[in-house]
Structure 1
Amino acid sequence: MPKITRITTQKKSKNRYNIFLDHGQGEAYGFSVDEELLVKFHLRKSMEIDESMIAALIQKDTIHKTYTLAIHYLSYRMRSEKEIRDYLVKKEADDEQIDEVMNRLREEKLVDDQEFANSLVRTRVQTSSKGPLLVKKELIEKGVSASGAEEALQFFPFDKAVEKALKFAEKKAASEKKKSQRQLIQTIQQNLMQKGFQSDVIKEVFEQLPEEEGEDTEWEAIVYQGEKLLKKFERKAEGYELKQKIKTGLYRKGFSFDLIERFIEEKINER
């Protein structure tokens, strides 16, 4: 029966040990184990150890290495079960090892998809511009069930969604003053939908959003857009054709017929 002749600490990993064995033909390297297994199985010099135990120790050590990988991955932030499984697959752990590691992580309360979902929602509310629908999509992509994601969204209440969406809308409105009021509203609405805010949130935002109405504001916008169109088309068209191109362009940008006619009258006909 093989006998342990020497146990040495690995140079690059002080909590791992190399086990040297004598099978009756002199000392040779046998296998390595983590400190936890060394202590648990009371491995020591001169201890006799059969082949079945060696195989069992190697298997347990492999699982322990997989567990250590998972713990390291969890050390940065909470993870969903799917994230951990995907990570371990990339590290070439087999399914049986992964299942055993996941069971241990659950028993030790180190992985819990609902707690993960709750935490991620709270974080996104504080640090992200995403709306509830995008946050829910992110949770599901990370392996959280639809019901679990929905439950976690209790931490993203309606008033908080409105507050976040309104802040974005006000910033967008301030940076898009050269657009027509109609186009600005469409832009903000589209952006909020893309960010994952629900229709009732968007409706509330427009009820609270300060209106930038007034003839002067809209006139400044149409002059800015109209002059851009004029520069674009004046070398390619003139007269009636030029006016029609500018009218069409301004209408597509959301300006009213009356304001467009005023622009044509004051900025084109007077040229």
Structure 2
Amino acid sequence: MNDAIKAIDDYARILFRYRIRTEWETRERCAEKGFDSESIEALIERLKERGLLDDDRFLRMYLYEGLTLKKKGIYVLREELSRLGIARDQIMEAWRALSKREDIPALLAQWASKEKSFDPNRWKTKMLKRGFESEDIGQALEVLEDRD
């Protein structure tokens, strides 16, 4: 293995040790580090062949974890993913698929019911800031009202 390949492979290990990356992000980070485009493209192909670089899988995981673990809505997640080089139409398509599997208003209602002092207006503002759609928030509030 020549020194250039070893150097870029070592750098990729460092990048992927922290978290998985998008193809765009991997390409950008390697270019910033000074690797030539030929070495970068060869690395990208090797990573894809090994299944370590898969933008679709990255997107699905990022959206699911963002929603369920970090309690972020589509508007915040879309901006974050756009900065990582994922196209907006891809993001929205994956979000629609996730929305079919996960009942977002029910998740929101579940989170709201765990709040110690619940003020609907403050909670709605908080969820809007986290990037949730007002329609989902409204449905969650209806679910909470029905429980009372």
- TM-score norm. by structure 2 comes to 0.79
| Structure with a larger share of its residues in strand | 1
Map of 1:201 onto structure 2: 136
Map of 1:237 onto structure 2: none
Q: Name which structure has the greater RCO, CA cutoff 8 Å, separation 6+.
A: 2
Map of 2:58 onto structure 1: 116
**Whole-angstrom CA distance in 2 between matches of 1:118 and 1:208:** 27
**Whole-angstrom CA distance in 2 between matches of 1:189 and 1:130:** 13
Closer, same or farther in 2 for the Cα pair 1:191/1:126, shift >3 Å?
closer
Opposite residue 202 of structure 1, the aligned amino acid is: I
Matched, 1:136 2:78: yes
Question: Identity, % of aligned pairs?
Answer: 25
**Unaligned runs of at least 5 residues, structure 2:** none
**Whole-angstrom CA distance in 1 between matches of 2:125 and 2:25:** 31
Q: Is the 8 A contact 1:132 1:161 kept in 2?
A: no
Give the aligned length: 146
Map of 1:98 onto structure 2: 40
**Whole-angstrom CA distance in 1 between matches of 2:83 and 2:25:** 10
**Whole-angstrom CA distance in 1 between matches of 2:135 and 2:121:** 16
**Whole-angstrom CA distance in 1 between matches of 2:124 and 2:101:** 17
Q: Is the 8 A contact 2:106 2:143 kept in 1?
A: no
Q: Is the 8 A contact 1:131 1:195 kept in 2?
A: yes
| Structure with a larger share of its residues in helix | 2
Flag the structure with larger Rg: 1
- TM-score norm. by structure 1 comes to 0.47
**Whole-angstrom CA distance in 2 between matches of 1:163 and 1:128:** 16
**Shift, 1:197, TM fit:** 1.1
Map of 1:169 onto structure 2: 112
Q: Is the 8 A contact 2:76 2:130 kept in 1?
A: yes
Matched, 1:61 2:7: no
Identify the match of residue 190 of structure 1 among 116, 125, 131: 125
**Unaligned runs of at least 5 residues, structure 1:** 1-36, 38-59, 177-183, 214-271
Closer, same or farther in 2 for the Cα pair 1:133/1:104, shift >3 Å?
same
**Shift, 1:161, TM fit:** 1.5
Closer, same or farther in 2 for the Cα pair 1:191/1:85, shift >3 Å?
same
Opposite residue 76 of structure 2, the aligned amino acid is: L
**Shift, 1:171, TM fit:** 4.4
**Shift, 1:73, TM fit:** 1.9
Closer, same or farther in 2 for the Cα pair 1:158/1:185, shift >3 Å?
farther
**Aligned-pair Cα RMSD in Å:** 2.6
Opposite residue 81 of structure 1, the aligned amino acid is: E
- Listed as ranges, the matches of 1:195-234 within 5 Å are 195-210=130-145
Closer, same or farther in 2 for the Cα pair 1:189/1:158, shift >3 Å?
farther
